[in-house]
Amino acid sequence: MFRAMSTAPQSTLDAEVARRRTFAIISHPDAGKTTLTEKLLLYGGAIHLAGSVKSRRAARHATSDWMKLEQERGISVTSSVMQFEYEGFAINLLDTPGHEDFSEDTYRTLVAADSAVMLLDNRKGVEERTRQLFEVCKKRRTPIFTFVNKCDRVGEESLKIVSDVEADLGIMCHPVTWPVFDGNAFIGVYDRRLDRLHLFDRDEHHGSRRATEEVLSLNAPETRARLGEAVYAQLRHDVELLDEAGHPFDREAILRGELSPVFFGSALTNFGVEPFLREFLDLAPPPLARESSAGTIAPTDTRFTGFVFKIQANMDPRHRDRIAFVRICSGKFTAGMEVGHVRSGKRFRLSTPQQFMARERIAVEEAWPGDVIGVVDRGTLRIGDTLAEEGTLEFGGVPRFPPEHFARVVLLDPMKRKQLDAGLRQLTEEGAAQVFFTSPTEVAGPTPIIGAVGMLQFDVMLHRLEHEYGVRCRLEKIGGRYPRWVVGPTAEIERIGRERGRSILYDATGAPLILFEDTWGLKWVLDRETALTFYEAAP
Ligand code: G4P
């Protein structure tokens, strides 16, 4: 039964859902994610002069009330959510930390996104980090848009970049915009779908303002004269080749995550950014229906539902609060509304939720499907928890991702074992750490082992153990990097796991995993030990 509570009229809800786009940018460090983010915010009018995101980065030492570690290192430990408007669309850009601060959060953020923009450097193509993030999107069939950046600088041949992406990632590509060069100079992009040639003006603003441009049709008589014979002939040739040999445009295939629309541009000079943004907003899906234990929940269902995809502790050191980031899946959220916490069966009031604009927190009065709100939590919420205005439905769990680094936790004050256990339990529940033991009965034994997806996650753990639980520890890295949870006869698991270059660990639930030091040893075992079943994450 629907109850008219804080609900908005159905037509308002439908319209708010239809105009929302929630996405994340996936890229390898240095491809230009910060620059592109800044430019998208510039076009959305959220910042007046691009450059302020970066300068704010520098100013943060003085002003930030976020984690001390973040200040000490001058890097962003947490991913934030940026909301901006553009031509009637409400856009949520979920930031995925990509440098040393790469962690499980980076992966989990993709679960909260409805589409992803894969940003590539035109000289480097697909790099390692991009590939890992791409795989997560692919598994979830998330629509992926490709933006080839830095076209203002000579890079690989455009056709080669596209065919490399196809071969490397096993996804079909359809270039929607195509770069136009005059010699080595990047002068514009041609939108094949809309037959719009955008020619850019180099101005004196160095990308700090919107690019000024002239828009022509490729078939208009003046275009040939405007481009000059050689440039025009090359563009015609390229377009004909793409039409004949490339994959055709197919909106449905894009939405199924099988075809990636490709765009070319330069985030630094803004060239190609706005044509990309317009097409992206048109082609990317609005918030999608999500599967739950009670069937599919449409975003336009009037009952509020959402799930926690990330928990951030101690964003404000003056309060020991934690912020749970909730992705809204259906219905309207109104400040002060009461929701059910499905796992515990308790109800509570969402009284002081916040939205995030770059580094600033803003109190939020209402929010819609696709939006992310930060809910102050006193330790009740966990990653993957569902909040629902009514009923007991639960959304499919937010997946765990296998750690890539492992270290022994050595307690510097042996009397603090209890505090260490409490701290590790809390960090595990939040999804900030994964804890392992060297024997199934050793839970709370002498040396727990922690696993992390990125190295910085270790520093964050140590910092938090010390500052929140008063426990000082040292970490001893261990060699294994490739964990596989394994199901089968215990004697077999022990025989295989005790060989050189491998070790056996048990996770917090007592499930065994074998940790391999190299991919060669891993492959050897996977090929031969067919009596055992191996899983990349806890089964
Ligand atoms: P990231 O967040 O993905 O790590 O990349 P970021 O935006 O910080 O960009 C990495 C470097 O690439 C920066 O140069 C940035 O200016 C440059 N860059 C980004 N987009 C473009 C582009 O379209 N064309 C060109 N030519 N360069 C681009 P840097 O020298 O490391 O930093 P800075 O001194 O410019 O800040």
Atom of ligand 1 nearest to the CA of 30: 4
Q: Is the pLDDT of residue 349 over 50?
A: yes
Q: What is the mean pLDDT of residues 482-505?
A: 92
Name which residue sits closest to atom 15 of ligand 1, judged by CA.
32
Which ligand 1 atom is nearest residue 29's CA?
4
Local confidence band at 539 (pLDDT 50, 70, 90 cut-offs): confident
Distance CA 495, CA 82 (A): 50
pLDDT at residue 6 in the model = 52
Domain ranges for the chain:
24-75+115-283, 290-388, 405-535
Average pLDDT of the segment spanning 342-359 = 70
Cα 90–Cα 269–Cα 204 angle in degrees, nearest 5: 115
Pocket residue to mutate for ligand 1, from 25, 28, 35, most atoms within 8 A of Cβ: 35
Q: Are 384 and 398 contacting, i.e. CB atoms less than 8 angstroms apart?
A: yes
**Residue 310 pLDDT > 90, yes or no?**
no
Q: Which of 66-80, 170-184, 343-357, 467-481 has the lowest mean pLDDT?
A: 66-80
What one-character-per-residue DSSP string does 81-117 give?
EEEEEETTEEEEEE----STT--HHHHHHHHH-SEEE
| Res 463 pLDDT > 90 | no
pLDDT at 52: 40
Q: pTM for the complete prediction?
A: 0.83
Distance 34 CA to ligand 1 centre (A): 8
The answer, yes or no, to whether residue 47 has pLDDT greater than 70, is no
Contacts 24+ apart (CB under 8 A), 291-299: 291/395, 291/396, 292/386, 292/393, 292/394, 292/395, 292/396, 293/392, 293/393, 293/394, 293/395, 294/391, 294/392, 294/393, 297/329, 297/330, 297/393, 297/395, 298/330, 299/17, 299/329, 299/330, 299/369, 299/370
Q: What's residue 350's pLDDT?
A: 80
Note the pLDDT tens digit of each residue in 34-44.
889 888 888 88
Whole-number pLDDT of residue 124 = 95
Task: Using the atom order of ligand 1, give the atom closest to the CA of residue 31.
Answer: 3
pLDDT at site 358:
40
Residue 207 has pLDDT above 80, yes or no: no
Least-confidence region, from 64-68, 113-117, 308-312, 531-535: 64-68
What share of residues in the chain are helix, strand, coil (percent, to 5)?
A: 30, 30, 40
pLDDT for 320 equals 59
Q: What CATH number is given for 405-535 in this structure?
A: 3.30.70.3280
Any idea which of 226-230, 300-304, 403-407, 450-454 has the lowest mean pLDDT? 450-454
Residue 538: the pLDDT is 77
Average pLDDT, the chain: 84
Q: What is the distance in A from the centroid of ligand 1 to the CA of 30?
A: 6
- Averaged pLDDT for residues 309-329: 73
Architecture, CATH, for domain 24-75+115-283: 3-Layer(aba) Sandwich (3.40)
Which tops the pLDDT comparison, 492 or 427? 492
32 Cα: distance to centroid of ligand 1 (angstroms): 5
pLDDT value, residue 7: 62
Asked, colleague to colleague, whether 24-75+115-283 and 290-388 share their fold, the answer is: yes
Fold of 290-388: Rossmann fold (3.40.50)
CA of 260 to the centre of ligand 1 (A): 24
Given a cut of 80, whether residue 445 has pLDDT beyond it is no
Average pLDDT over residues 498-506: 91
In sequence order, what DSSP letters do the residues of 204-267 get, joined into one string? TTTTSSPPPEEEE-TTSHHHHHHH-HHHHHHHHHHHHHHHHHSPPP-HHHHHTTSEEEEEE--T
Distance of CA 190 from the midpoint of ligand 1 (Å): 24
Does the pLDDT value for residue 260 go beyond 90? yes
84 vs 391: CA distance, rounded Å:
32
pLDDT at residue 166 in the model: 96
Q: How far is the CA of 55 from the centre of ligand 1 (A)?
A: 14
Look at residue 460 and tell me whether its pLDDT is greater than 90. no
Residue nearest to atom 19 of ligand 1 (CA): 32
CA of 73 from ligand 1 middle (Å) equals 20
Pocket test for ligand 1, best of 28, 40, 79, 268 (most atoms within 8 A of CB): 268
Instruction: Point out the least confidently predicted range of 23-27, 301-305, 477-481.
Output: 477-481
Q: What pLDDT was estimated at residue 59?
A: 36
Ligand 1 proximal residues by C-beta, below 6 Å: 27, 29-35, 149-150, 152-153, 266-268
**What's the 31 CA to ligand 1 centre distance in angstroms?**
7
pLDDT score of 137 more than 80:
yes
CA-derived radius of gyration, the chain: 25
CA-149 nearest atom, ligand 1: 23
Tell me the pLDDT tens digit for each residue of 509-532: 889 999 999 989 999 999 999 889
Is the pLDDT score of 75 beyond 50?
no
Give residue 99's pLDDT band: very low, low, confident or very high (50, 70, 90): low
